[in-house]
Amino acid sequence: MKIFAIREGGLAIYGGVIGGLLSAIVFCKINKFSLLKLIDLLIPSLVLGQAIGRWGNFMNQEAYGELITNTKLQFFPYGVYIKEVSQWHQATFFYESMWNMILLILLLIIVRRTKKNGILLATYFICYGLGRFLIEGFRTDSLYLFGNIRVSQLLSMLLVIVGVILLTLIKKGKISVREYNGKYLDLKTI
């Protein structure tokens, strides 16, 4: 039941995304709407939310990286001063926030150039997964699965693999989207 105690941490981003995905699946099944189309509509908002959400880590003085002992590197945005330990650490929350803003710009460029459903989802999986994998390697508060394998890095690599497979299937025409004629017809033109 602690998973619902959001004041004590609650769900990580992956849990939130999985919950949103399950809700999207139910909505699409009930309304016979294309899941890939809906997700492509929502992905830019998700990425923007993630970029903004990382600033909560700054406010809470959490999700920071390795200790910075070189005084020349003790400045924001490279580092952040953590009051609790009275030390400068890498500002990994900022790195991920900026990575997500770059990803958002990329998605907004791609959406104008493609009509295939699922391209934004595949791009998100690949780019977010790569960025999160790299940035997670700098963090000091990671959850480890076993040995030196971090849970978030493993999940990130799975996202990249799924994204590459999805992109390949879309490009080869193996994934198609059926026509929609339901009550949300106005979304059809998007």
The answer to whether the beta carbons of residues 65 and 92 sit under 8 Å apart is: yes
Which amino acid is residue 83, in one-letter code? Answer: K
- pLDDT of 188 over the 70 cut: no
pLDDT tens digits for range 106-154: 999 999 998 888 999 999 999 999 999 999 999 988 788 877 888 889 9
Residue 91: per-residue pLDDT? 96
User: In which band, very low, low, confident or very high, does the pLDDT at 6 lie, cut at 50, 70 and 90?
Assistant: low
Tell me the percentage of the chain whose pLDDT exceeds 70.
86
Residue 11: per-residue pLDDT? 56
Residue 107: per-residue pLDDT? 97
pLDDT tens digits for range 69-90: 999 999 999 999 999 999 999 9
DSSP assignment of the chain equals -GGG-GGGT---HHHHHHHHHHHHHHHHHHHT--HHHHHHHHHHHHHHHHHHHHHHHHHHT-S-BSB---GGG-STTTEEEETTTTEEEE-HHHHHHHHHHHHHHHHHHHHHH---TTHHHHHHHHHHHHHHHHHHTTBSSPPEEETTEEHHHHHHHHHHHHHHHHHHHHHTT-S------STTGGGGG-
Q: Whose CA is closest to 127, among 49, 58, 33, 44? A: 44
Q: Could you tell me the pTM of the whole model?
A: 0.84
pLDDT tens digits for range 16-44: 888 888 999 999 999 888 899 999 999 99
Residue 32: per-residue pLDDT? 86
The answer to whether the beta carbons of residues 118 and 170 sit under 8 Å apart is: yes
Residue 66: per-residue pLDDT? 95
Residue 1: per-residue pLDDT? 65
Q: How far apart are CA 18 and CA 124, in angstroms?
A: 14
What average pLDDT does this structure show over 58-64? Answer: 89
Q: How far apart are CA 24 and CA 2, in angstroms?
A: 24
For the chain, what is the mean pLDDT? 88
Residue 169: per-residue pLDDT? 94
Residue 150: per-residue pLDDT? 87
- pLDDT of 186 over the 80 cut: no
Burial of 64 (0-12, 13-18, 19+ CB in 10 A): buried
Residues in the chain, overall count: 190
